[in-house]
Amino acid sequence: MDSVINVSKLEQDSSRCNLGHACSFCPQEMTCKRDKPRHNKELLEKRLENFGMVLLVMANKGGVGKSTVAANLSVALSQLGYQVGLADADIHGPNAPRIFGLQDERVKVKAEGIETPFYEMPASKKSLQLGSLAFLLPESNTPIVWRDAYKHDYIHHMIGSFNWGALDFLVVDMPPGTGNELITLSDLLETSNVRVVLVSSADAIALQDSLKASRFCEERGLPVLGLVENFAGTTCPHCKEEFELFPRSKEIENFEKAGISTLTRLPFSSLIAEGAESGQPAADNKESAIGHIFEQLAFECRKAAIEDNRCALSEELTNLFDVNDDLAELDVEQQRQVEQLIDTEKQKLQRLKPKVPEHD
């Protein structure tokens, strides 16, 4: 792998390393005497501190449109003025770069971390960052044949070693299933602000598999924002009549019983396929029906982020003093901490305020 790390920047007389990637990418790994486990752990913690909300786009079944939803949702969030990153966790099928026309992009490992290419949106002139294993492969058709230990390491690198910077939203395109990648990521995100967006087609088999994914989320304490029903109807190109491509199964009632609502029903549309083929996701056109659907989905994510920030503030304030205490009776240091927390909350809410108005 090509590397442009300036070794002279390494502080050899320090017990800590300031490089923005894991030790396994460093040319000094074999000779370095620093505490490598601590460096890798602190690196992950610093990255996670810079993420406002992590959105896991997942299902238990392949082929239902997770990558499509993850890519277009990332575009819609970026159009609202947020700093957005899309992390491609699908190790065996890292397709995010292809959707954005960046399949031939290759990255370098720098002192700040692995490069995250930017996708510049032709229509809205916004941009978002991408991190994918595809950027590290010699060819786009190179197969990945890894045991779980390697998958575990990649998920750590995806969060800790890619140079994400500060993000309002990190959208993660998850692989099918509830295997090692999801388990590893769940462990990493235990203290982070996370929401899950489930994706499924409307047929019984896909819904049943996605329900299993929701069960995993419940057991791991991952809050589910809701369900995106993909391939939900289409329009005949001849008579213009709308009809259901996959008849909506009664299996959807099980999601309702589990308290999981449908966020949106995404129609089967040639615009989405054309967008993936051209490297310009359909959501980049906000005036289209598809663009409007993903804009509304982005607003749902924003609402969740605001709610979670307020809950976090309430918990932090509760930890500072007894709930029965009067603010006026707090000492100077406690009052300073309360004011600092409130100021931080105001800054977060201001940042979450979209640049465009929400509409029906």
CA torsion 26-28-32-37 (nearest 10°) is 10
Record the pTM. 0.84
User: Are 313 and 17 within 8 A, CB to CB?
Assistant: no
User: Are 78 and 119 within 8 A, CB to CB?
Assistant: no
Q: Within 13 Å, how many C-alpha atoms sit on residue 158's CB side?
A: 31
The CATH label, of 3.10.129.10, 3.10.20.740, 3.40.50.300, 3.20.20.70, for the domain at 50-290 is 3.40.50.300
Output the CA–CA distances (angstroms, integers) from residue 297 to 10, 139, 292, 301, 303, in the order listed.
Answer: 44, 34, 9, 7, 10
DSSP at 175? P
Where exactly are the structural domains of the chain? 50-290
Phi, psi of 84 (to 5 degrees): -130, 140
- Cα 128 to chain centroid, rounded: 12
Q: What is the pLDDT along the chain (360 residues), one digit of tens a residue?
A: 444 444 444 444 456 788 999 999 998 888 898 888 899 999 999 999 999 999 999 999 999 999 999 999 999 999 999 999 999 999 999 999 999 999 999 999 999 999 999 999 987 889 999 999 999 999 988 999 999 999 999 999 999 999 999 999 999 999 999 999 999 999 999 999 999 999 999 888 999 999 999 999 999 999 999 999 998 888 777 887 888 777 788 889 999 999 999 999 999 888 888 888 899 999 998 888 899 999 999 999 998 988 876 665 555 555 555 544 555 566 667 667 767 766 666 666 566 665 555 554
How far apart, in whole angstroms, are the C-alpha atoms of residue 283 and residue 298?
A: 11
How far apart, in whole angstroms, are the C-alpha atoms of residue 313 and residue 319?
A: 10
User: Are 70 and 86 within 8 A, CB to CB?
Assistant: yes
